[in-house]
Amino acid sequence: MKPIRIFLIAGARPNFMKLKPVYEKLSEQDRFDVKIIHTGQHYDYNMSRAFFEDLNMPEPHFYLGAGSGTHARQTARIMTLLDELFDSEMPDWIFVFGDVNSTIAAALTAVKRGIKIAHVESGLRSFDMSMPEEINRILTDRISHLHFVTEPSAIDNLLREGHSPDSIKWVGNTMIETLISVIPIARRRFEDLSRKFEIKEKGYALLTLHRPSNVDSREKLEQIIGAIRPHAARFPIIFPVHPRTSRKLHSIDTGEIRLVEPMRYVDFVSLQMHARFVMTDSGGIQEETTYLKVPCLTLRENTERPITVEIGTNILVGTEPERISVYMRRALEGKLNLRARTPRFWDEKVSDRIISNFIEAL
């Protein structure tokens, strides 16, 4: 019998760790012919290749080299390049991950070719249509045949949108499965990192910012940095700067906030694990800190990952300077009073659940 051809399609930094366990488990089975397609949405060494190295992943089988651009141009380029690949290499199924432009571009290209789509990390909703990721999530789910979800809110969202219950599979979080696998190495890495950054366990905070709503306007970014800056004079704050953010940041007074290059995956996990607290507008970091039980101050007004607030260590602080300052002070004094439970299925068996549900659905 001919194997079922499956393309796993990824393009941006947070996709790679979600893909890895799925790739490994699918590849173990002779009945599947599995290929990794890298769209090239992220292309800097630190944003892409370093992740493949850290995760011990094979080179992508196909690299499309789409690169940056406006949303429409980037999405269109990924679609064109992928469609050309489909001219010679037609999969039976594609797997897409998360909510980035590569996710919707791949799904839209595949569905018109009659290729089936499995969406990993389906159903999350921020209910904020000004976020490009929210548009990508809703549209990708609309045209996917299988919806693999990380938390119960996603099931409710998908059902409300009219998706068939049979298509929805609560499997857990593949990003956490990958995280668990690197924790021992990340723990060992801290010795080097603490020397390099002159920090001690729980003696520093970690900051990331890259959401367009926070970093595309200089005024907004300055407001957030202005709230954080005074604390950095007394307590080390390490800030790996995303390429999108660095464009506006160079004209802003960052005081003693320690700006560093985007980090390798294992190093970043290590710094999360050992931080007193983390401040971020990322989706994935809200989840990773919940698993690691490290307090997370989320500098956004909403989250598509409500479980991290309900049972995890996440607090939706927003971006109002006074609130940022108040919560930073509480975090520094250890007065956040957080619950810290691990969401169901956020474990090392997520990809097993995905594969068994996938096989059942074939």
Q: Give the nearer residue to ligand UD1 in terms of CB position, either 139 or 340.
A: 139
Angle at 188 between CA 186 and CA 191, to 5 degrees: 110
Stretch that binds ligand UD1, among 198-206, 239-247, 297-305, 314-322 (CB under 6 A): 239-247
| 47 interacts with ligand UD1 by CB under 6 A | yes
Contact flag: residue 44 with ligand UD1 (CB under 6 A) = yes
User: Does residue number 264 form part of the binding site for ligand UD1 (CB under 6 A)?
Assistant: no
Segments of the chain assigned E as strands: 4-10, 32-38, 62-63, 93-97, 116-120, 146-149, 168-170, 205-207, 237-240, 258-260, 277-280, 296-298, 314-316
* Mutual angle of helices 174-197 and 265-274, in 10-degree steps: 80
Indicate which single residue of 27, 57, 92, 132 sits in contact with ligand UD1 (rule: CB under 6 A): 132
DSSP state of 3: P
Task: Give CA angle at 211 (245, 136), nearest 5°.
Answer: 130
**Contacts with ligand UD1, 133-172, as mask; x by CB under 6 A:** x---------------------------------------
| Residue whose CB is less far from ligand UD1, 13 or 163 | 13
By the rule CB under 6 A, 6 interacts with ligand UD1: no
**Selected binder of ligand UD1 within 145, 220, 229, 244 (CB under 6 A):** 244
In whole angstroms, give the CA distance from residue 141 to residue 158. Answer: 8
Give the one residue of 18, 210, 300, 305 binding ligand UD1; rule: CB under 6 A: 210
Is position 280 an interface residue for ligand UD1 (rule: CB under 6 A)? no
- How big is the site for ligand UD1, counted in residues (CB under 6 A)? 20
Q: Which is nearer to ligand UD1, 48 or 313 (CB)?
A: 48
- Residue 255 binding ligand UD1, by CB under 6 A: no
Using the rule CB under 6 A, give the single segment among 93-101, 160-168, 336-344, 345-353 that binds ligand UD1: 93-101
| Residues 73, 77: Cα–Cα separation, whole Å | 6
Which residues 6+ apart lie within 8 Å of 166 measured at CB? none
Nearer to ligand UD1, 101 or 150 (CB): 101
Q: How far apart are CA 37 and CA 41, in angstroms?
A: 11
Nearest-angstrom CA–CA distance, 274 and 102: 32
| Long-range contacts, stretch 164-168, CB < 8 angstroms, 24+ apart | 168/122, 168/123
- From the CB of 272, what's the least distance to ligand UD1, in Å? 15
Q: For this structure, is 42 an active site residue? A: no
Single residue of 43, 62, 190, 345 touching ligand UD1 by CB under 6 A:
43
Write down the catalytic residue from 210, 231, 242, 274: 210
Q: Which is nearer to ligand UD1, 177 or 304 (CB)?
A: 304
CB nearer to ligand UD1: pick between 126 and 144: 126
63 binds ligand UD1 (CB under 6 A): no
Q: Between the CA of residue 150 and those of 75, 163, 180, 304, what are the distances in Å?
A: 25, 16, 15, 11
* Distance of alpha carbon 250 from alpha carbon 248, whole angstroms: 6
**Residue 318 binds ligand UD1 (CB under 6 A):** no
Distance separating alpha carbons of residues 175 and 150, to the nearest angstrom: 10
Strands 4-10 and 32-38, by their bridges, are: parallel
Question: Residue 63: beta bridge partners?
Answer: 38
Closest of 294, 296, 273, 291 to residue 346, by C-alpha = 291
Nearer to ligand UD1, 18 or 116 (CB): 18
116 part of the interface to ligand UD1, by CB under 6 A: no
Position 217 contacts ligand UD1 (CB under 6 A) = no
User: Exactly one of 7, 8, 10, 14 binds ligand UD1 (CB under 6 A); which one?
Assistant: 14
- Residues forming the active site: 210
Residues that bind ligand UD1 (CB under 6 A): 12-14, 41-44, 47-48, 68, 74, 99-101, 132-133, 210, 242-244
